[in-house]
């Protein structure tokens, strides 16, 4: 089954593709777009555009651009924007985020849960720096180790220990790269549990409700496998931090 279709189905009830509650998303967006007047936002790896659509709905003077390789996800983003009447202020690009260029800088750049597109957190920070206007803000979400990962956690995530660091070290690296955290959110265990139950539940329920679909069996298998990897592997080991950053 196509991984992008799995992701779309799994995020049907949790369009923010990260372990963040609605309240946390609203607070981060409010801080990220703080200040009078309008602005321009860019989401690198926007998926279904959930961050941007929410931003535009709350900020009528803002415009936004989303970039992603998932054409179906971009279609969903356009549909969501149309439903909320903000489609005229949203531009979408079916493109590798690493290839996106703009003559005009952005007041806000987002990359939450998509730093893998650039090869990790530090390359993402470097790419965002080139696209951000002076005084602009970067909202970036990244995994970290809540505790030393077990072999079961590493196997479940198909990860190596060096793929992440602890929260303190991760933050030190951000600061050393020339950025200042001005706000942020560390996802709690309830944030994670709600996200994972939603992810696996939405996918499994879709399979139950569409037994005639050729992908139903693969979807159920993917949900069951992901649930086992979470509960028996990385639960409590993998954390997630969303930084709101400004350049030094």
Can you give the pLDDT at residue 2? 87
Distance CA 54, CA 58 (A): 6
Per the DSSP assignment, residues forming a β-bridge with 62 are 39
Q: Residue 17: exposed, middle, or buried by beta-carbon count in 10 A (0-12, 13-18, 19+)?
A: buried
- pTM here is 0.95
What is the spatial order of strands in the sheet that 90-94 belongs to? 90-94, 62-68, 39-44, 106-112, 132-145, 238-247, 179-186
The proportion of the chain whose per-residue pLDDT surpasses 90, expressed as a percent, equals 96
Is residue 96 helix, strand or coil? coil
Residue 47 has a pLDDT of: 94
What phi and psi, each to the nearest 5 degrees, are found at residue 224? -65, -40
Residue 139 has pLDDT above 80, yes or no: yes
Which of the 8 DSSP states describes residue 206? Answer: H
With 90 as the cut, is the pLDDT of residue 196 above it? yes
Q: Contact 218/1 with Cβ under 8 angstroms?
A: yes
C-beta of residue 28 within 8 angstroms of C-beta of residue 187: no
Q: What is the pLDDT of residue 36?
A: 62
Tell me the per-residue pLDDT of 210-224, one tens digit each, with 9 for 90 and over: 999 999 999 999 999
**Contacts with 113 (C-beta within 8 Å, 6 or more apart), sequence order:** 17, 18, 45, 141, 240
Residue among 144, 172, 166, 167 nearest 157 (CA): 144
- Cα-Cα-Cα-Cα torsion 240, 193, 81, 136, nearest 10 degrees, comes to -20
Alpha helices (runs of H) in the chain, residue ranges in sequence order:
3-10, 22-32, 50-58, 71-83, 121-129, 151-157, 167-176, 189-209, 216-229
């Amino acid at each position: 089954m196509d991984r992008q279709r799995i992701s779309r189905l799994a995020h049907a009830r949790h369009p923010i593709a990260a372990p963040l509650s609605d309240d946390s998303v609203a607070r981060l967006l409010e801080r990220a777009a703080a200040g009078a007047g309008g602005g321009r936002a860019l989401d690198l790896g926007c998926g279904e555009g959930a961050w941007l659509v929410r931003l535009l709905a709350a900020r009528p003077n803002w415009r936004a651009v989303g970039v992603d390789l998932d054409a179906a996800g971009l279609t969903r983003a356009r549909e969501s924007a149309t439903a909320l009447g903000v489609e005229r202020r949203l531009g979408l690009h079916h493109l590798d985020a690493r290839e996106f260029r703009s003559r005009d800088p952005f007041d806000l750049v987002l990359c939450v849960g998509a730093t893998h597109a650039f090869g990790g957190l530090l390359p993402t920070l470097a790419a965002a720096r080139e696209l951000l206007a002076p005084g602009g803000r970067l909202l970036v979400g990244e995994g970290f180790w809540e505790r030393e990962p077990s072999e079961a956690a590493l196997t479940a995530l198909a990860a190596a220990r060096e793929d992440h660091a602890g929260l303190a070290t991760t933050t030190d690296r951000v600061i050393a790269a020339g950025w200042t955290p001005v706000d942020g959110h560390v996802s709690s265990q309830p944030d994670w549990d709600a996200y994972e139950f939603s992810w696996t539940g939405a996918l499994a329920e879709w399979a139950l409700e569409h037994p005639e679909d050729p992908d139903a069996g693969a979807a159920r298998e993917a949900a069951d496998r992901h649930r086992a990897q979470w509960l028996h592997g990385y639960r409590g080991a993998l954390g997630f931090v969303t930084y709101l950053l400004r350049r030094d």
